[in-house]
Amino acid sequence: MTVVSAEGFAHREINEAIRKTQGTCVVEGCCGQRFIAAGMSGRDITIQGIPGNALGAYLNGGTLTVQGNAQDAVGDTMNAGTIVVHGNIGDAAGYAMRGGKIYVRGNAGYRAGIHMKAYEEKVPLMVIGGRAGSFLGEYQAGGVIIVLNLETPQEKCVGFYPCTGMHGGKMFLRSSCRDVAFPEQVTARPASEDDMRELRSYLLEYCRLFTLDPADVLAAPFTVVTPDSKNPYMQMYVPN
Protein backbone atom coordinates (compact mmCIF):
# COMPACT_ATOMS: atom_id res chain seq x y z
CA MET A 1 0.00 0.00 0.00
CA THR A 2 1.27 3.47 -0.95
CA VAL A 3 0.25 6.65 0.89
CA VAL A 4 -0.08 9.91 -1.04
CA SER A 5 -0.41 13.16 0.90
CA ALA A 6 -2.86 15.65 -0.64
CA GLU A 7 -2.28 18.36 1.93
CA GLY A 8 -1.06 21.53 0.28
CA PHE A 9 -1.15 20.10 -3.25
CA ALA A 10 -3.41 20.75 -6.23
CA HIS A 11 -5.10 17.98 -8.18
CA ARG A 12 -2.39 17.76 -10.86
CA GLU A 13 0.32 16.95 -8.33
CA ILE A 14 -1.94 14.51 -6.49
CA ASN A 15 -2.94 12.66 -9.65
CA GLU A 16 0.67 12.52 -10.82
CA ALA A 17 1.65 10.94 -7.51
CA ILE A 18 -1.21 8.42 -7.76
CA ARG A 19 -0.15 7.40 -11.27
CA LYS A 20 3.32 6.56 -9.98
CA THR A 21 1.95 4.09 -7.44
CA GLN A 22 1.23 0.41 -7.92
CA GLY A 23 -1.45 -1.62 -6.20
CA THR A 24 -3.50 -0.02 -3.44
CA CYS A 25 -3.13 3.72 -2.86
CA VAL A 26 -4.38 5.81 0.08
CA VAL A 27 -4.75 9.56 -0.42
CA GLU A 28 -4.55 11.36 2.93
CA GLY A 29 -5.56 14.91 3.80
CA CYS A 30 -7.82 15.53 0.82
CA CYS A 31 -9.62 18.85 1.24
CA GLY A 32 -11.64 19.98 -1.76
CA GLN A 33 -9.17 19.19 -4.53
CA ARG A 34 -11.07 18.58 -7.77
CA PHE A 35 -10.61 15.93 -10.47
CA ILE A 36 -9.01 13.31 -8.22
CA ALA A 37 -8.39 10.12 -10.26
CA ALA A 38 -9.94 11.69 -13.37
CA GLY A 39 -9.56 9.42 -16.39
CA MET A 40 -7.71 6.73 -14.48
CA SER A 41 -8.18 2.95 -14.64
CA GLY A 42 -6.85 -0.13 -12.91
CA ARG A 43 -6.33 1.58 -9.56
CA ASP A 44 -7.59 0.80 -6.06
CA ILE A 45 -7.67 4.20 -4.34
CA THR A 46 -8.97 5.08 -0.88
CA ILE A 47 -9.47 8.76 -0.13
CA GLN A 48 -9.38 10.11 3.41
CA GLY A 49 -10.92 13.54 3.66
CA ILE A 50 -13.34 15.28 1.30
CA PRO A 51 -12.53 15.31 -2.41
CA GLY A 52 -13.77 18.24 -4.48
CA ASN A 53 -15.88 18.33 -7.63
CA ALA A 54 -15.59 15.75 -10.42
CA LEU A 55 -14.09 12.94 -8.37
CA GLY A 56 -13.47 10.07 -10.78
CA ALA A 57 -14.53 12.05 -13.84
CA TYR A 58 -14.07 9.93 -16.98
CA LEU A 59 -13.07 7.01 -14.76
CA ASN A 60 -12.31 4.01 -16.96
CA GLY A 61 -11.91 1.26 -14.37
CA GLY A 62 -10.66 0.46 -10.89
CA THR A 63 -12.17 1.39 -7.53
CA LEU A 64 -12.36 4.70 -5.67
CA THR A 65 -13.44 4.59 -2.02
CA VAL A 66 -14.17 7.80 -0.10
CA GLN A 67 -14.24 7.43 3.67
CA GLY A 68 -16.30 10.60 4.14
CA ASN A 69 -18.36 12.93 1.97
CA ALA A 70 -17.76 13.97 -1.64
CA GLN A 71 -18.75 17.14 -3.47
CA ASP A 72 -20.48 17.72 -6.81
CA ALA A 73 -20.25 15.75 -10.08
CA VAL A 74 -18.95 12.48 -8.64
CA GLY A 75 -18.31 10.11 -11.54
CA ASP A 76 -18.92 12.74 -14.22
CA THR A 77 -19.03 10.89 -17.58
CA MET A 78 -17.42 7.79 -16.05
CA ASN A 79 -17.09 4.83 -18.37
CA ALA A 80 -16.24 1.94 -16.06
CA GLY A 81 -15.12 1.13 -12.52
CA THR A 82 -16.65 1.61 -9.09
CA ILE A 83 -16.94 4.63 -6.80
CA VAL A 84 -17.90 4.01 -3.17
CA VAL A 85 -18.77 6.96 -0.92
CA HIS A 86 -19.32 6.27 2.79
CA GLY A 87 -20.93 9.68 3.37
CA ASN A 88 -23.05 12.06 1.30
CA ILE A 89 -22.50 13.41 -2.22
CA GLY A 90 -23.29 16.77 -3.76
CA ASP A 91 -25.19 17.69 -6.93
CA ALA A 92 -25.07 16.14 -10.41
CA ALA A 93 -23.51 12.83 -9.36
CA GLY A 94 -23.09 10.48 -12.29
CA TYR A 95 -23.61 13.23 -14.84
CA ALA A 96 -23.72 11.52 -18.27
CA MET A 97 -22.16 8.36 -16.82
CA ARG A 98 -22.19 5.59 -19.43
CA GLY A 99 -20.81 2.70 -17.41
CA GLY A 100 -19.58 1.69 -13.99
CA LYS A 101 -21.16 1.84 -10.54
CA ILE A 102 -21.60 4.52 -7.90
CA TYR A 103 -22.53 3.39 -4.39
CA VAL A 104 -23.42 6.07 -1.82
CA ARG A 105 -24.18 5.31 1.82
CA GLY A 106 -25.79 8.69 2.52
CA ASN A 107 -27.77 11.32 0.63
CA ALA A 108 -27.37 12.79 -2.84
CA GLY A 109 -27.94 16.40 -3.88
CA TYR A 110 -29.83 17.72 -6.90
CA ARG A 111 -29.79 16.18 -10.37
CA ALA A 112 -28.24 12.82 -9.50
CA GLY A 113 -28.08 10.65 -12.60
CA ILE A 114 -28.71 13.52 -15.02
CA HIS A 115 -28.14 12.35 -18.61
CA MET A 116 -27.19 8.85 -17.45
CA LYS A 117 -27.04 6.57 -20.48
CA ALA A 118 -26.27 2.98 -21.53
CA TYR A 119 -24.70 1.36 -24.56
CA GLU A 120 -24.71 -2.35 -25.44
CA GLU A 121 -23.20 -4.21 -22.47
CA LYS A 122 -22.55 -1.02 -20.50
CA VAL A 123 -25.38 -0.39 -18.04
CA PRO A 124 -24.38 2.14 -15.35
CA LEU A 125 -25.72 1.75 -11.83
CA MET A 126 -26.14 4.31 -9.06
CA VAL A 127 -27.35 3.29 -5.59
CA ILE A 128 -28.14 6.02 -3.06
CA GLY A 129 -28.65 4.80 0.49
CA GLY A 130 -30.30 7.97 1.77
CA ARG A 131 -32.50 10.49 0.00
CA ALA A 132 -32.05 12.22 -3.35
CA GLY A 133 -32.64 15.88 -4.12
CA SER A 134 -34.80 17.40 -6.83
CA PHE A 135 -34.51 16.52 -10.54
CA LEU A 136 -33.35 12.95 -9.86
CA GLY A 137 -32.76 11.16 -13.16
CA GLU A 138 -33.30 14.27 -15.26
CA TYR A 139 -33.09 13.32 -18.95
CA GLN A 140 -32.10 9.77 -17.96
CA ALA A 141 -31.52 7.77 -21.14
CA GLY A 142 -30.31 4.46 -19.70
CA GLY A 143 -28.88 2.69 -16.70
CA VAL A 144 -30.38 2.06 -13.26
CA ILE A 145 -30.87 4.45 -10.34
CA ILE A 146 -31.86 3.13 -6.90
CA VAL A 147 -32.82 5.30 -3.92
CA LEU A 148 -33.19 3.46 -0.60
CA ASN A 149 -33.96 6.21 1.95
CA LEU A 150 -32.74 3.94 4.74
CA GLU A 151 -32.37 6.56 7.48
CA THR A 152 -35.54 8.66 7.16
CA PRO A 153 -38.28 6.46 5.65
CA GLN A 154 -40.93 8.78 7.08
CA GLU A 155 -39.76 11.52 4.69
CA LYS A 156 -40.02 11.69 0.89
CA CYS A 157 -37.26 9.68 -0.73
CA VAL A 158 -36.84 12.20 -3.57
CA GLY A 159 -37.24 15.94 -4.00
CA PHE A 160 -39.25 17.79 -6.63
CA TYR A 161 -39.48 16.97 -10.35
CA PRO A 162 -37.96 13.47 -10.45
CA CYS A 163 -37.58 11.84 -13.89
CA THR A 164 -38.05 15.09 -15.82
CA GLY A 165 -37.32 14.26 -19.45
CA MET A 166 -36.57 10.62 -18.63
CA HIS A 167 -36.58 8.58 -21.84
CA GLY A 168 -34.62 5.44 -20.97
CA GLY A 169 -33.35 3.31 -18.14
CA LYS A 170 -35.09 2.37 -14.92
CA MET A 171 -35.46 3.71 -11.40
CA PHE A 172 -36.19 1.84 -8.16
CA LEU A 173 -37.44 3.90 -5.19
CA ARG A 174 -37.82 2.34 -1.73
CA SER A 175 -41.21 3.88 -1.10
CA SER A 176 -44.82 3.62 -2.17
CA CYS A 177 -44.25 7.13 -3.64
CA ARG A 178 -47.81 8.30 -2.95
CA ASP A 179 -46.32 11.67 -2.04
CA VAL A 180 -44.18 11.99 -5.19
CA ALA A 181 -45.35 13.85 -8.32
CA PHE A 182 -44.00 12.22 -11.47
CA PRO A 183 -44.17 13.71 -14.98
CA GLU A 184 -46.69 12.39 -17.49
CA GLN A 185 -44.14 10.67 -19.74
CA VAL A 186 -43.18 8.02 -17.15
CA THR A 187 -44.97 5.11 -15.49
CA ALA A 188 -44.54 4.61 -11.74
CA ARG A 189 -45.85 1.27 -10.44
CA PRO A 190 -45.34 -1.07 -7.48
CA ALA A 191 -42.44 -3.46 -7.98
CA SER A 192 -43.36 -6.95 -9.15
CA GLU A 193 -41.67 -10.19 -8.09
CA ASP A 194 -39.50 -10.03 -11.20
CA ASP A 195 -38.57 -6.44 -10.35
CA MET A 196 -37.58 -7.47 -6.84
CA ARG A 197 -35.35 -10.27 -8.14
CA GLU A 198 -33.66 -7.80 -10.46
CA LEU A 199 -33.32 -5.28 -7.63
CA ARG A 200 -31.75 -7.86 -5.33
CA SER A 201 -29.04 -8.54 -7.91
CA TYR A 202 -28.12 -4.85 -7.87
CA LEU A 203 -28.12 -4.55 -4.07
CA LEU A 204 -26.01 -7.53 -3.02
CA GLU A 205 -22.72 -5.71 -3.60
CA TYR A 206 -24.06 -2.51 -2.03
CA CYS A 207 -25.09 -4.38 1.12
CA ARG A 208 -21.73 -6.12 1.31
CA LEU A 209 -19.85 -2.82 1.04
CA PHE A 210 -21.87 -1.12 3.77
CA THR A 211 -22.51 -4.17 5.99
CA LEU A 212 -26.27 -4.26 5.51
CA ASP A 213 -28.66 -7.21 5.45
CA PRO A 214 -30.23 -7.49 1.97
CA ALA A 215 -33.38 -8.98 3.48
CA ASP A 216 -33.87 -5.91 5.68
CA VAL A 217 -33.26 -3.52 2.79
CA LEU A 218 -35.72 -5.37 0.55
CA ALA A 219 -38.40 -5.68 3.24
CA ALA A 220 -40.18 -2.51 2.14
CA PRO A 221 -42.41 -1.43 -0.74
CA PHE A 222 -40.55 -0.36 -3.87
CA THR A 223 -41.76 1.74 -6.77
CA VAL A 224 -40.40 1.14 -10.26
CA VAL A 225 -40.28 4.07 -12.69
CA THR A 226 -39.83 3.61 -16.44
CA PRO A 227 -40.32 5.99 -19.37
CA ASP A 228 -43.27 5.75 -21.74
CA SER A 229 -41.46 7.46 -24.60
CA LYS A 230 -37.96 7.33 -26.08
CA ASN A 231 -38.38 10.94 -27.22
CA PRO A 232 -40.72 12.81 -24.88
CA TYR A 233 -40.09 16.16 -26.54
CA MET A 234 -40.48 15.11 -30.17
CA GLN A 235 -43.82 16.92 -30.42
CA MET A 236 -42.00 20.20 -29.73
CA TYR A 237 -40.06 19.89 -32.99
CA VAL A 238 -42.40 18.02 -35.35
CA PRO A 239 -45.17 20.08 -37.02
CA ASN A 240 -48.72 18.89 -36.61
Report the topology of domain 104-240.
Answer: Pectate Lyase C-like (2.160.20)
Distance CA 104, CA 88 (A): 7
**Tell me: the pLDDT tens digits for 167-212?**
999 999 999 999 999 999 999 999 999 999 999 999 999 999 999 9
CA 187 to chain centre: 22
64, 84 Cβ separation under 8 angstroms: yes
**Tell me: the pLDDT tens digits for 129-166?**
999 999 999 999 999 999 999 999 889 999 999 999 99
Q: pTM value? A: 0.94
85, 105 Cβ separation under 8 angstroms: yes
